[in-house]
Structure 1
């Protein structure tokens, strides 16, 4: 039996939060005796057509080295991607039965194609939902109705849905999706990745944040303002931000860093590989998770937070969404009011001044990566869910 992870919301083998979740799914399925294949359905140029990474077979059916100058050629290449994906699944099905297709997409064309593949290969179609389905349909009433119609059509095509939060479970249930088709799968992590202690990438103590570097969604400006309040009192500590940001976001970050007078003590690293991220996380003195307090935060769960607690390093997180459903302030994490840089600065100072106590809290948080946040534990639940559909 095999499970296909298929979609256009992730890159592979390196990538964003979705890529990390895909990794944990694939590793977990493999440890529970399910062969897993990852098919990245994006139109990315210059990537390997197929390969193996950490024992995970992956494919890029688009597989073009560069963008053609001719419109008809580009259209054909995109169409050929569908044919190549079918061939990949057909080849896999000759070796072992495809049990399920776990689909990651916001595009109706990709979902329809995934549904078509699931019917052809008699597999269950399992939709991954890590963000609010109406996230881009909140502008006005008509737009919301269009979003709901799209949601109902797409959810009707799926045999099951994996939701990252209870908020999303309730949304699906309220909008007519049967409870037996829903499974809550919180953020997952492979703790062994963060148990290793490679050489530190930096020769100074630092507070670390590693994730998307935006102001609107991730509220990184909150952390910059908090650090500015404590930098003089604790001159031995620096701030390191690592992750993706576009040119506009980078300009915003640089401008605020300059305005706050923290340029000499702040490093911004725009790209980190999976291996490099681990190095920076495990060697941080303190890890901070910030994000905005909005509907997107309420519906999702930050994957970087489970990676943070897996490192056994003191973690400070804003208390948004369902974080406090799993983690308790002063017990296994340190929580702070969102969008309040003064409160965040006070919490950072508390950790610095009471570091031994903060480490004890971190160790308790780390234990959760062996149970509720554990990739293999959740993979077994997903396999049982799929088998009972």
Structure 2
């Protein structure tokens, strides 16, 4: 998951600055059949982690599952308070999709006298997915009040930064866009004749858009690789869309790949696809995969909406269509088919862009300095000036 990968890379960046980081999960979510052998506590790639419930798996029995949630919540509080009493805790970095969690963790941090930092990566009220009334209320509170509860805020986009500044002008805020470990992409590969899209199967509209844009090319020399995962129903929908397409033999579906295999597919592709829509959700977010696409030295094909405009320009370091339009997007894909040398040049330019703005070591140092800063008003101005990017 992109959110998990983001927290892992933020943690690694902080560790490189001499911090000790523990990733604390309240309760387990893993499936025993699909994820055998998961530990409840340990170290992964240098990062300590712990499931506070003492159990990494999601129990099917309702009573046991909810008792473990209570146990995890109690153990989380004990862990945080215990670390703070030993003076072994400087800050808590909150990564959650629920407002009530932000409120709870910020209160615990305040009681312990440590800095609370919210990692804000989505504008939830813009999501069009059907929700309950309680979920809609929680989304609204998260978008407009969560940043008021914490001491500092990390934002993934200018859209979210502007929202924080408009509602809480004195709140220290730092922009942390897509983040990637470039050392993982040292794998060198010859470019092959295929386009690749990677994203959640829940983005049904986007996946159908990609398939339709590919179909408009009316050729089979360049293949289309779809790397996606989701629920059984969501994945079935993607498979149906492929099977009903006249070019189904040229469209390949991949799911739940090991990360190293995904990197191999990234680095071998002729171009990497990430169409963004003209809506609040896509303008506020910054897909994690854009950083990975840069690290893979692939030509990025996207649309001119949201955060991507601060880092990429059409035919300079990417191919960008003016609108979320299948024909326009297909025309950008056709450039890759007809001019592979240009595509390779754009891939190298995107790599340099990624090194400049998305490298986890560079961002780790910025986050470290941001968390440790003392004068909120002064640091707010300096961090804003150094991290809000603009073509102008």
TM exceeding 0.5: yes
Say whether 1:27 aligns with 2:12: yes
TM-superposed CA distance for 1:320, in Å, is 1.8
Indicate if the aligned counterparts of 2:41 and 2:51 stay in contact, CA closer than 8 A. yes
Alpha-carbon deviation of 1:242? Answer: 0.8
The match for 2:305 is 320
Contact 2:102 2:146 in 1 (8 A): yes
SS at match of 2:357: coil
Contact 2:273–2:302 (CA<8 Å) still a contact in 1?
yes
Q: CA offset at residue 259 of structure 1?
A: 2.8
1:52 corresponds to: 43
| Counterparts of 2:62 and 2:139, CA distance in 1 | 34
Distance (Å, rounded) in 1 between the aligned partners of 2:233 and 2:137: 32
Is 2:148 the counterpart of 1:160?
no
Is 1:344 the counterpart of 2:329? The answer is: yes
**Structure 1 position 185 matched with structure 2 position 176:** yes
- Tell whether the 8 Å contact from 1:165 to 1:185 is kept in structure 2 after alignment: yes
d(CA) in 2 for partners of 1:249, 1:295: 23
Cα separation, 1, equivalents of 2:59 and 2:141:
35
Q: Which residue of 2 aligns with 1:334?
A: 319
Q: State the match for 1:84 in structure 2.
A: 75
Change in 2 beyond 3 A, CA 1:254/1:329: same
Check the 8 A contact 2:98/2:142 in 1, yes or no.
no
Give the one of 171, 183, 189 matched to 2:163. Answer: 171
**Is contact 2:90–2:115 with CA below 8 Å preserved after alignment?**
yes
Q: Deviations over 1:174-220 (max 9, x none)?
A: 22x1344211111111111112238x9xx974211112134456x11
Normalising to structure 2: TM-score of the pair?
Answer: 0.84
Contact conserved, 2:155 with 2:161, CA < 8 A, in 1? yes
Deviation string for 1:295-340 (max 9, x for gaps)? 1001111111111011112221222212011111111111123431
1:351–1:160 distance in 2 versus 1, CA, 3 Å? same
* 1:359 corresponds to 2:350: no
CA distance in 2, matches of 1:286, 1:365: 11
In angstroms, what is the RMSD of aligned CA positions? 2.8
1:257 & 1:324 partners in 2: Cα distance? 31
Instruction: Name segments (4+ residues, structure 1) moved above 4 Å.
Output: 90-96, 136-140, 142-153
Per the alignment, residue 25 of structure 2 pairs with 40
Aligned length: 365
Matched, 1:239 2:224: yes
Match of 1:306 among 281, 291, 297: 291
Q: Using the alignment, how far apart are the partners of 1:255 and 1:130 within structure 2?
A: 31
**Aligned pairs for 1:127-166 within 5 A:** 127-135=118-126, 148-149=140-141, 151=143, 153-166=145-158
Q: Distance in 2 between matches of 1:138 and 1:230?
A: 31
Q: Which runs of 5+ in 2 are unaligned?
A: 33-37, 377-392
Contact 2:126/2:279 (8 A) holds in 1: no
The answer (yes or no) to whether the contact 1:204–1:238 under 8 Å persists in 2 is no
Please say if 1:98 is aligned against 2:86.
no
Alignment of 1:238-257 (within 5 A): 238-257=223-242
CA–CA distance in 2 between the matches of 1:291 and 1:271? 23
Q: What's 1:229 paired with? A: 216
Q: Structure 1-normalised TM-score? A: 0.84
Please tell me whether residue 213 in structure 1 is matched to residue 217 in structure 2.
Answer: no
Quickly say closer, same or farther: Cα 1:353–1:206, change in 2 above 3 A: same
Taking the aligned partners of 1:351 and 1:68, their CA distance within structure 2 comes to 48
* Structure 1 partner of 2:361: 376
Supply the distance in 2 between the matched residues of 1:127 and 1:272 (Cα, whole angstroms): 30
Question: How far apart are residue 106 of structure 1 and its match?
Answer: 2.5
For structure 1, the residue ranges without an aligned partner over 5 or more in a row are 1-15
Q: CA deviation at 1:136?
A: 5.4
